[in-house]
Amino acid sequence: MGRLEGKSVIITGAGSGIGRAASLLFTKEGAKLIAVDRSEAVKETVAQVRKAGGTAEAVIADAGSEKDVIAFIDKAVSSFGRLDAIWANAGISGGLVPLAEQTVEHWQEILRINLIGPFLAIKYSMPHMIKQKYGSIVCTASVAGLKSGASGHPYAASKAGVISLVQTSAYSLSGTGVRINAVCPGLIETGMTKPIFDNARERGTDGKIGQLNPLKRAGQPHELAAMGLFLASDDASYVNGQAIPVDGGLTASMPYAGKPI
């Protein structure tokens, strides 16, 4: 049996990158999945899951919209009878805008998706999990939320907020049987980071990608998906309130500043 055999799971940001890799891995391990993304690409994710013999339904929704979050959580419960795990993975980068040129609207949109989205996922999934005295909530943070120098100001602030939200929520959920953890990706090759990789390849410096971490390479979405699977499964039954870097060892020293690739 798979590690998520028969479990009902939601993954947001499932249209590409880490979310798509997680969707394929979770369903391979037996999960029944509601795959959520605001892009039509989530339909391709579900098509790939079904081709591999998995169970999944696509929902096009905004992970930062309260109405949409309520709806896709209710869909998981109505479709599968319960909700065992949710991975609040959807996020946006916001780019590298100079501090003096950033606008309130720019900050608000990044915080809406990256931080309010996970809050909503927690708020509306936990009643179902508390009722059954079991559940796992996973949120995607970032190494940028641990220390400075890895991304732009609003993105880093939003991910630091996710880490704090996970830690404080773990204590709010004390005694309920519900666990909550964060994964903190380092440099992973996804649609969000594509400009970094493309620019390096155009300059002929792609050999430097990932050279700041001890593994001397960038990560791949399936490597994040594997950590999410562990946290969502009963294998992580005593892991709670943690923010776990998956970064090739980068945060062991965090040598970002002044060393662009």
Asked if 58 and 35 count as a contact pair (C-beta separation under 8 A), the reply is yes
**DSSP 8-class letter at 101:** G
Name residues whose C-beta falls within 8 Å of residue 204's C-beta, 6 or more positions apart in sequence: none
Pick the closest to residue 183 from 85, 42, 87 (CA basis).
87
Q: Are strands 135-140 and 178-185 parallel, antiparallel or unpaired?
A: parallel
Nearest residue to 73 (alpha-carbon basis) of 132, 10, 138: 10
Q: Which two tokens stand for residue 90?
A: 């959807």
Cα separations in angstroms, 59 against 80, 124, 199: 15, 17, 33
In the set 124, 134, 155, 256, the catalytic residue is 155
Collapse the DSSP code of 35 into the 3-class scheme (helix H, G, I; strand E, B; otherwise coil) and give the result. Answer: strand
* CA 181/CA 93 separation, integer angstroms: 21
Q: 66, 53, 51, 59: which is closest to 19 by C-alpha?
A: 59
Does residue 163 contact residue 183 with C-beta atoms inside 8 Å? no
Is 155 in the active site? yes
- Residues with active-site annotation: 155
